[in-house]
Amino acid sequence: MQIREAIVLAGGLGTRLRDVIGEFPKPLAPINNLPFLQYLLDYLKQNGVQKVVLAVGYKWELIQEQFGDNYKGLSLIYSVESNPLGTGGAIKLALEKIATKNCFVLNGDTLFNIPLNELAQQHLNGSATCTLALKQVDNSSRYGSITMNDAGAIEAFNEKEQGAKAIINGGVYCIATNALANFKTEHTFSFETDYLAVKAGLGKLYGKVFQAYFKDIGIPTDYHQFEKDLKEGQIKFYNAMPYEKIKIDSSWTLFLDRDGVMNERLIDDYVKQLNELRIIEKVPAAVQRFTELFGRIVVVTNQQGIGRGMMTVDDLSIVHGFIEEVIKTAGGKIDKFYFAPQLRSENSNHRKPGTGMGLQAQLDFPEIDFSKSIMVGDSESDIEFGMKLGMKTVMLKNSSNVSTKADYIFGNLYQVSQELIH
């Protein structure tokens, strides 16, 4: 069921965003200091895509300069329009660089955070020519709406209607690479009007509704809203990669980061006293389940607030003692807390992503086998720590770690306890 190739329509001029982003191509629109296209590429990588054809035009050299021909293991190929070809012409040209029978197509100015493997399953099981990812919205006035029958076949694309609740096209497609065979290469046409609308009702165009995060950044209001949503952690990230549950027994060890994993992280500050500690909902229940399965559970946490003189080791011990007691009351157990008080500038191996705390844990618990260990964190330094020691790694997503090398991606610790292990 896996489809490993995708086309991203990245030739947009960004005319309506000109006052916000200047002369940049729209895919390079900066969102929290990162180009929007980077969020899309990270999303595709997390969904198992291995090759991306970027359908580019306006100032495409800037995109190539930014990303080159490989992004974090994603092979990038450029399909360049010498003249604007419309969405259909751009896809037709890009399809010549697709090697397999089916691929994904995404709008380069939209993030619709669906699990792509589910869209692929719908497409392949139904022998569809094209399958659309759909979204139900309260107001379809900007997008128009879609009529679909009980079997999931799309029957019609409807005109925009002010204030109407409806199902809309989310701008993510799974398409057979021969779907546009009747169109000439370098011919200008609209994918939406000249292909989708024409094929509606003929039985080869299907849709699947997803209740995932959706944002089209094509206008300033939504551009700024997407930036705000990222900062506030409003985006729900799917663990989009298909995975099998990990079978755990008492020979396994669980390593947990603390801030952002067990308790709420304070922005630009440290949990120095108990009145600043907020344990995340359902963490005690998660650790209780982990305790039933793992042989050991240890916490490894960077605490440079000590090195900066903002708190003491005794202050930290009180916080950890309280967390330990809460976990114990819920039926769980933390075997040991390890902390690194060093400043980031010291480049100490004891501080993550250095491996010092992990190696110390192995000295204290010689039975620890890093190949039978899982590291759960919320930052890339946590993931690098686990990777260096040969552990499986889990990232808990937030607004500042959209990109990750982790093996698994989940929303919170409780979700990990329910969905990843058994």
For 349-403, write each residue's pLDDT tens digit: 999 999 999 999 999 999 999 999 999 999 989 999 999 999 999 988 765 554 5
Burial 76-107 (b: 16+ CB within 10 A, else e): bebbebeeebbbbbbbbbbbebbeeebbbbbb
- Residue 243, pLDDT > 70, answer no
CA dihedral angle for residue 198, residue 203, residue 209, residue 215, rounded to 10 degrees: -20
State the Cα–Cα distance between residues 295 and 28, nearest whole angstrom: 47
Cβ atoms of 180 and 204 within 8 Å: the answer is: no
Q: How confident is the model at residue 62 (pLDDT cuts 50, 70, 90)?
A: confident
Cα separation, 249 vs 418, in Å, equals 16
DSSP-assigned beta bridge partners for residue 35: 30
Q: Which domains does the chain have, with CATH numbers?
A: 5-231 (3.90.550.10), 253-419 (3.40.50.1000)
Distance CA 375, CA 385 (A): 8
3-state secondary structure of 135: strand
* Whole-angstrom distance, CA of residue 132 vs CA of residue 195: 13
Backbone angles phi, psi at 241, to 5 degrees: -70, 130
Does the annotation count 109 as an active-site position?
A: no
**Cβ-contact 401, 34 below 8 angstroms:** no
Residue with tokens 């969405």, as numbered in its chain: 87
pLDDT confidence band for 17 (50 / 70 / 90):
low
- Under 8 Å between Cβ of 356 and 349: yes
> Would you tell me the crossing angle of helices 36-46 and 60-67 to the nearest 10 degrees?
50
Q: Which candidate in 42, 194, 222, 257 is catalytic?
A: 257
- Reference 115, options 3, 234, 227; nearest CA is 3
- The pLDDT-based confidence of 96 (bands split at 50, 70, 90) is very high
Q: CA–CA separation, 113 vs 172, rounded Å?
A: 10
Determine the Cα–Cα distance for residues 259 and 267; give it in Å rounded to an integer.
10
Catalytic residue among 259, 315, 382, 407: 259
Task: Give the pLDDT of residue 354.
Answer: 97
This prediction has a pTM of 0.60
Active site residue 259: yes
Does 240 score more than 50 pLDDT? no
The whole-angstrom separation of Cα 110 and Cα 172 is: 9
Question: How many CB atoms are located within 10 Å of the residue 23 CB?
Answer: 10
pLDDT at 239: 47
CB environment 157-186: b (16+ within 10 A), e (fewer): bbeeeeeeebbbbbbbbbbbbebbeebeee
Residue 12 has pLDDT above 80, yes or no: no
The model's pLDDT over 273-289, given as tens digits with 9 standing for 90+, comes to: 999 999 999 999 999 99
